[in-house]
Amino acid sequence: MTKDAPMVEEITDFEVLEIALRELAIEKGLFTAEDHRRYTEFAEGMGPTPASRFVAKAWTDPAFKKRALEDPIAASLEVGIDWLNPTGFGTPSDFTALHVLEDRPTLHHVVTCTLCSCYPRPILGNSPEWYRTPNYRRRIVRTPRQVLAEFGLFLSPEVEIRVEDSNSKHRFLVLPVRPAGTEGWSEEQLAAIVTRDCMIGVALPKPGVTTNVARTVHPAAEPLEGHSAGK
Ligand SMILES: [Fe+2]
C-alpha cells in the first residue's frame, strides 16, 4: 500500500453517475426518494423462483406448457409475474417480448446478449456476473460447445446448439427437457432442480442438483485466431 492509497474503497465512476442522475431526477420531481427505495427493494427481491415454477408447471401440465410456449407473458401471470408491469407501481418500462425456447433431446438452447447484458429479469431475477462478461458474450456465439463444456455441460455431437441473442426488445427463457428419474415428482420437487443456469442454458436439470455451477470467469483456453481472449 502506498502512502497515497485511499483509506476506504473508492466508489466507481458508474456509482458516481448513478448517484448524480438519481439526485437530479428526485430534484426534478421525476420520482421521489421513497419511490427509489421501493424500487430498490423490488429489484433486490427478484430471483429465479418464478421461472423455476414456470418450467416445472410446463413439465407437469400440458395445457400450461401450450400457453407457456404460445403466450409466455400471459402464462407468467400464473406464476405471479406481471411481465408488463413487474414492479406493480410506477411507469412500466417500454414493452419487451418474452420467448420460451423449448429444448428437445437433440436440440439445446443457450441465451446471451452479445451487445450488453439483456436478461429476462422480471421472471429470472438479476443476471449472474459471468453472463455480463465480454468473455462469455463473445465466445458463446462462436464456440458454444467449448464454452458449455467449461461450465461442465458436455453435449454429444448429435445435439444441435442454438444460441439466442437477447436485445432490448426480446428476452428468452430456456425450457429444458424434463430429466429422467423425476417420474411422479411434484411441481415443487421439480422446481427445485430447475436452477437459474438451466434456464439460461449453461446447465441441464438433474435430480439431486439444486444449485448453480460456481463459475470463475477466465480468459479463453483456446482463443480464436484474430480475436482477443476476451475480458
Ligand atoms: Fe443487452
Using the mean position of ligand 1's atoms as its centre, give its distance from the Cα of residue 87 in Å.
Answer: 20
Q: Which domain holds residue 151?
A: 47-200
Same domain, 39 and 95: no
Using the mean position of ligand 1's atoms as its centre, give its distance from the Cα of residue 65 in Å.
Answer: 27
Position 230 confidence tier, pLDDT thresholds 50, 70, 90: very low
Same domain, 77 and 158: yes
List, for residues 68-102, the tens digit of each pLDDT value.
Answer: 999 999 999 999 999 988 877 766 567 889 999 99
Based on the structure, what is the number of domains in the chain? Answer: 2
Q: What is the C-alpha separation between 88 and 204, in angstroms, rounded?
A: 32
> Does 37 fall in a domain?
yes
Same domain, 158 and 76: yes
Pairwise pLDDT comparison (125 vs 8), residue with the higher score? 125
List, for residues 138-183, the tens digit of each pLDDT value.
Answer: 999 999 999 999 999 999 999 999 999 999 899 999 999 999 999 9
Cα–Cα distances in Å, from 126 out to 33, 96, 106, 224? 22, 16, 29, 30
The C-alpha cell that represents 94 in the structure block: 417500454
Same domain, 59 and 141: yes
Residue 208: the pLDDT is: 93
Same domain, 51 and 38: no
User: Active site includes 116?
Assistant: yes
Q: Mean per-residue pLDDT for 111-120?
A: 96
Same domain, 189 and 121: yes
Using the mean position of ligand 1's atoms as its centre, give its distance from the Cα of residue 209 in Å.
Answer: 29
Same domain, 136 and 175: yes
- At 186, give phi and psi (nearest 5°): -80, 165
Same domain, 25 and 54: no
List, for residues 170-220, the tens digit of each pLDDT value.
Answer: 999 999 999 999 999 999 999 999 999 999 999 999 999 999 877 665 555
Same domain, 69 and 144: yes
Same domain, 57 and 38: no
List, for residues 9-49, the tens digit of each pLDDT value.
Answer: 778 898 999 999 999 999 999 989 998 998 888 888 899 99
β strands within 57-213, DSSP E = 97-102, 107-112, 160-165, 170-175
Q: What is the C-alpha separation between 5 and 42, in angstroms, rounded?
A: 36
Same domain, 167 and 65: yes
User: Active site includes 113?
Assistant: yes
